[in-house]
Amino acid sequence: ENSLEDTLNEYVLWHGTTHRSAQAIVRSDFQVGGVKHGSRFGRGIYLAERVSKSLDYAPVDELGLHTVLLCRACCGKMHKISRKEDLQAHRVAQDEGKHSIIACPGANREFIMIHKEQVYPEFILRIRVKGLIDTE
């Protein structure tokens, strides 16, 4: 049985980060703005449907592990982008009454949530990756 809520346009998505940041997110929630990565499409919480894309943002730690969060995201109405970058996408989405952005510049779709309340981190996973990762 599917536990995702269709009326909310809900997805299960990945978020790559450091282990320390993942723990902080689980304790205190996501923060919008003021982060190292995630500004190609403006302000928001960046998620991906492929773990390989999120691993790009999850540096290897001292144990040789990457850290990713598996999250539930309520996307609502989505503003679609096909360009590789649009720094004002979050503003355009809000002006259009949209709740999130779906960026499809290549093989890996990214989902950008405008408000932190749209994302719930379900699990922290620590992953050891062997070999190359195909991210595009």
Predicted local confidence at residue 5, as pLDDT: 73
Encoded tokens for 71: 């999250």
Task: Report which of 39, 29, 18 is spatially closest to residue 112, judged by C-alpha positions.
Answer: 39
What is the pLDDT at residue 36? 60
pLDDT of residue 134: 46
Distance (Å, whole) CA 122 – CA 71: 5
Tens-digit pLDDT string for the chain (136 aa): 556 777 789 999 999 999 999 999 999 999 887 666 557 888 899 999 999 999 999 999 999 999 999 999 999 999 999 888 888 898 999 999 999 999 987 778 999 999 999 999 999 999 998 864 544 4
Question: Residue written as tokens 């990457």?
Answer: 66
Instruction: Give the helix/strand (H/E) hosting 91.
Output: helix 89-95
Question: What's residue 136's pLDDT?
Answer: 42
Instruction: Please state whether the predicted TM-score (pTM) of the whole model is above 0.85.
Output: yes
- Report CA 99 to chain centroid distance, whole Å: 14
Question: Are the C-beta atoms of 18 and 80 separated by less than 8 Å?
Answer: no
Three-state SS at 70 = strand
